[in-house]
Amino acid sequence: MTTARVLAGIAVAAALVTIAPAAAQASAGSPAAASAAPKSWGPAYAPGKAAKASGTIAVTGLSGTIPAVGTAHVTGKVYDRTKGSSCGWAVFRVTYRKADGNLPFIHKAYRTCNATKPKSFSFTYPNTYEVELKVCSEATSKPSLNCLYAGTWKVLYVSH
């Protein structure tokens, strides 16, 4: 009789271990649904507040892989707050997953040299793991190495 009780207890424990995670996930909602609502970011400033950027980010369709990736939808505006020849830059570093599992990154950059009118931007990127932002102010046709690699990036989204 003691052996039967032990085996019954083990069977009940195994059933609870199997059912509990599924019930917890069902009550919490799916990860894809939780990430779908747009999240505001910013304002973020360049040094000396010479440029500013703000907007929203939403990541949808999260995969079940580790790390999870989804499609990032980013919208916003970049403002040039200088009166001189400098321009305002919003530079995004998007880390994505390749088919082989590697996590490289690309830069998406948006510029305005108009101190009176902000520039609107929007982009979508698939298989996104992380999105980071840096705001710079410089008179260049593309972001300088100093803008891209000096200082810190503001994390807008990172997968769990």
Residues 17 and 78 reside in one and the same domain: no
Residue 66 CA, chain-centre distance (Å), reads 16
Residues 12 and 61 reside in one and the same domain: no
Residues 12 and 53 reside in one and the same domain: no
pLDDT tens column, 25-80: 433 444 444 456 899 999 999 999 999 999 999 999 999 988 999 999 999 999 99
Residues 141 and 103 reside in one and the same domain: yes
Residues 18 and 53 reside in one and the same domain: no
Confidence of residue 144 (pLDDT cuts 50, 70, 90): very high
Residues 68 and 123 reside in one and the same domain: yes
The one-letter amino acid code at 87 reads: C
Confidence of residue 10 (pLDDT cuts 50, 70, 90): low
Residues 25 and 40 reside in one and the same domain: no
Q: What is the pLDDT of residue 84?
A: 84
Residues 82 and 3 reside in one and the same domain: no
DSSP for 121-160?
A: EEEEEEEEEEEEEEEEEES-SS--HHHHHSS-PEEEEE--
Domain assignment of residue 147, given as a range: 36-158
Residues 110 and 55 reside in one and the same domain: yes
Report the CATH number at residue 118: 2.60.40
Is this model's pTM higher than 0.75 or not? yes
Residues 42 and 80 reside in one and the same domain: yes
Residues 19 and 46 reside in one and the same domain: no
Average pLDDT of span 97-112: 96
